[in-house]
Amino acid sequence: MDLKGKTVVLGMSGGVDSSVCAVLLKKQGANVIGLFMKNWEELDEAGNCQASKEYEDVKAVCDKIDIPYYSVNFVKEYKERVFDDFLKDFGKGLTPNPDILCNREIKFDVFFKKALTLGADFVATGHYCQNNNSKLVKGEDSNKDQTYFLHAIKSDVLEKVLFPIGDLPKTQVRELAEKYNLKTKHKKDSTGICFIGERNFKPFLQQYLKTRPGNFVNLQGEVQGTHSGAVFYTLGQRRGLGLGGPGERWYVVAKNIDQNTVTVERGADHPALYADSLKALEITWISPDQEIELPFTCQAKIRYRQKDQLCTIEKIENGEMLVTFDTPQRAITPGQSIVFYKGNICLGGAKITTIGASYFQMNKELMILQDSI
């Protein structure tokens, strides 16, 4: 694409990825404007204002390559459209994904619209994915591909979006940062909650959600220990349970928010962790005219970094879909997203609400049936 003379507003986070994007866009002849978003005001656990530190890095990079930059404050929008929903879902016992919410509600809505008011012909971000004629395509670096987090973007928005590093491996991005001697060249990749950063997750949540002591129980209902509230645990979780002796590894296999119990069992591959179907709501297709002839077979991920899994969308009724997998899936988690693919093209996704019967449940029912014969 010829960007010479085009105005490109680039979302800059203070990280190495968006810094390299700024260089690449300018080298293509674009009039680049760096735009930094402040979405969170509270201090981190070390007492630092992370947003201020990140903005200093944005300014250093922009000054070095001589492009204008601005800071915009979306703290109110982030709280109302991302963080409040994030907390509500946790309170219901779900495990929400704030990165997906943030991309849908802030980066590709509020931020996108702000960029257009600055005269943007295009909006750019440092995501590892590609845009092929308004189709969202996986990034060249399979270890960094971020299409999972972007599945809720619409094709009419993608028409004006650029992903300058989507065709590069992360190693090359680091090399470019070194080559142009950017301040962010040795900066670690950001982790943790979108725009909030790294936190000791449970204590962070406990600032907003009440503790409610309850019991860890096994599948036979036997008490194994106590916890501070079922909402603070997620399916498949091993760390932070405080159960068992040396060498014993317990995993969360279920939880009941009404009874405030967390069901645990030993073994990472316990049958209770596996199911081959799910139901999902809040369905979004990147192309609004996406033709889905049911049953529809494709690939899907139920979590970031998971390998694509073959599945079939069996039916969609009243906005709810039923998805069945060819092979059992471990720790399908309500609140997370299932994202659909055809090859390298991301089609869209939905929010997981219900898990199909686990293999433990099915085996138990089969044993009961055999005993009754």
pLDDT in tens, 38-75: 988 765 555 555 678 899 999 999 999 999 999 999 99
14, two tokens: 């203070």
Mean pLDDT of 362-373: 49
The count of other CB atoms within 10 Å of the CB of residue 64 is: 15
- pLDDT-derived band at 261 (thresholds 50, 70, 90) equals very high
For the chain, percent of residues with pLDDT exceeding 70: 92
What pLDDT is attached to residue 59?
96
What pLDDT is attached to residue 369?
37
Asked if residue 289 has pLDDT above 90, the reply is no
Which 3 state secondary structure label does DSSP give 278?
strand
Asked if residue 366 has pLDDT above 80, the reply is no
- pLDDT-derived band at 35 (thresholds 50, 70, 90) equals very high
Give the residues across from 272 on adjacent strands. none
Residue 363 near residue 330 (C-beta atoms within 8 A): no
Q: Please tell me which residue in 21, 62, 102, 311 is annotated as part of the active site.
A: 102
Asked if residue 346 has pLDDT above 80, the reply is yes
Question: Which region among 97-101, 158-162, 167-171 has the lowest average model confidence (pLDDT)?
Answer: 97-101
- pLDDT-derived band at 198 (thresholds 50, 70, 90) equals low
- pLDDT-derived band at 310 (thresholds 50, 70, 90) equals very high
What pLDDT is attached to residue 245?
76
What pLDDT is attached to residue 46?
55
Strands 320-330, 309-317: pairing is antiparallel
Distance separating alpha carbons of residues 138 and 166, to the nearest angstrom: 8
Give the residues across from 245 on adjacent strands. none
Domains contained in the chain, CATH given: 7-179 (3.40.50.620), 211-266 (2.30.30.280), 271-361 (2.40.30.10)
Name the region of 118 (left: φ>0; alpha: ψ -120 to 50; beta: rest): alpha
Q: Which amino acid is at 67?
A: I
* Biggest CA-to-CA distance, the chain: 80
Q: Per the confidence metrics, is the pTM higher than 0.85?
A: yes
Sheet with strand 214-217: strands edge to edge: 223-227, 214-217, 261-266, 250-256
Asked if residue 171 has pLDDT above 90, the reply is yes
What pLDDT is attached to residue 193?
61
Distance separating alpha carbons of residues 130 and 144, to the nearest angstrom: 12
Q: Is 102 a catalytic site residue?
A: yes
For the chain, percent of residues with pLDDT exceeding 90: 80
CA distances from 352 to 89, 324, 331 (A): 12, 13, 12
Q: What is the mean pLDDT of the chain?
A: 91
Helix spans in the chain (H):
16-27, 50-65, 75-78, 84-91, 98-102, 111-117, 155-158, 170-179, 201-206, 359-372
165, two tokens: 């590093």
Mean pLDDT of 164-168: 97
Going by C-alpha positions, the residue among 346, 352, 289 that lies closest to residue 127 is: 346
Which 3 state secondary structure label does DSSP give 185?
coil
CA 59 to chain centre: 27
What pLDDT is attached to residue 370?
40
What pLDDT is attached to residue 367?
41
Q: Please tell me which residue in 194, 298, 311, 346 is annotated as part of the active site.
A: 194
